Amino acid sequence: MLNQNSTIIVTGGAGYIGSHTIIELLQQTNYNVVSIDNFSNSTAKTFERIEAITGKQVKNLNVDICNLEALELALGKVKDPIGIIHFAAFKSVPQSVGDPLLYYHNNIASLVNILKICKKLSIANFIFSSSCSVYGNVEKLPVTEQTQFSVAESPYAHTKQMGEDIVTNFTKSESKFKSVLLRYFNPVGAHPSGFNGEYPRGRPDNLVPYITQTAAGILQKLTVFGDDYDTRDGSCIRDYIHVSDIADAHVRALNYLIENKQKKATSVFNLGTGVGVSVLEAIGSFEKVTRQKLNYEIGPRRPGDVISIYANNDFVKKELDWTPKYNLDDMMSSAWKWQVHLKDEQ
């Protein structure tokens, strides 16, 4: 793997996918890692968890990326920055439906600022956290990277569509700049050690933390958002993928850029397992691996939800030599291990 001493900047390093990616970077490469995170939706404790797993300390810059002046000041001091992995963004579909301006401001202003920094500091390698939500409701499944985007189903999804265009156009304008857009399907699960995982503030929006918190008795009951969709059991279909597999793909994408293996200035990859799983099947897997009944009920549909989506991942497997290692049961058991760990930690 990589063997240098330059620095990779990770925005949103205390977040769910950012922290798992830092763990893989520290374990698989010799790069220095600097995180930027203002803990607006995360906790500083994450860095203790990363240290417990890797034995390494990570420097975090507590800066709001929407504040260009503060960002310039902080990143100007980083030694030999050669790449940025940009995770920091808001990511709740329902919250974005209720407060679109929050999403347009935070997700777009921060991206523009971070690209300004790339230009100013001549940072040539950039990875952008995109989402399968860019595809919207599609006619043909599974989706390939060439599938045409439909209308975004939520402002969150729209910020990802816009973000991809911004990165692509910026890349075209800068001859030395290279970028990768990673379209995540549904990242779930926790580090296999059980020491790091998703840490939602307040009531979670996403399915898996909602399941584990219900099983732990923190929440009373899970509501399945609709069982009258045109799918095999009526509930929505998603491509759940283990967060450590997603993190590993980032290290490979970084290698790909730094070692100049990319064929285009901007490369796009679907990060999914290729398997569509319904909400009821996900619950079934959780109940099986944890040997407990989950308290759930069927409720109305959730606004902004895509009915069914899963990835064709042939291209990423070939180009990045990447294969997801974990299956649905692994995702559910690791998520539960993390939930139990959190209880013990308190």
Binding site for ligand UD1 (CB under 6 A): 91-93, 131-133, 157, 184, 186, 205-207, 210, 222-225, 236, 238, 279, 302, 305-306, 309
Count how many residues are written for the chain. Answer: 346
CB 200, CB 298: distance < 8 Å: no
Give min distance, CB of 204 to ligand UD1, in A: 8
Give min distance, CB of 256 to ligand UD1, in A: 22
Q: Which residues contact 175 (CB under 8 A, 6 or more apart)?
A: none
DSSP string, 197-240: ----SSS--SHHHHHHHHHTTSSS-EEEE-S-SSSSSSS-EE-E
Catalytic position from the list 31, 103, 135, 156: 156
**Residue with Cβ nearer ligand UD1 (35 or 133):** 133
**Residue with Cβ nearer ligand UD1 (206 or 262):** 206
| Torsional class of 274: left (φ above 0), alpha (ψ -120 to 50), beta (otherwise) | left
Give min distance, CB of 187 to ligand UD1, in A: 7
Orientation of helix 207-215 relative to helix 328-345, angle to 10°: 50
- Give the pair of three-digit tokens for residue 177: 């700049």
Whose tokens are 């203002």? That residue is 38
**Residue with Cβ nearer ligand UD1 (19 or 133):** 133
CA distance 197 to 250: 17
Name the closest residue to ligand UD1 (Cβ): 236
* Residue 156 annotated among the catalytic residues of the structure: yes
Give min distance, CB of 310 to ligand UD1, in A: 10
CA distance 80 to 42: 27
Give min distance, CB of 332 to ligand UD1, in A: 13
Q: Which of 243, 257, 241, 248 is nearest to 84 (CA)?
A: 257
What residues act catalytically?
Answer: 156
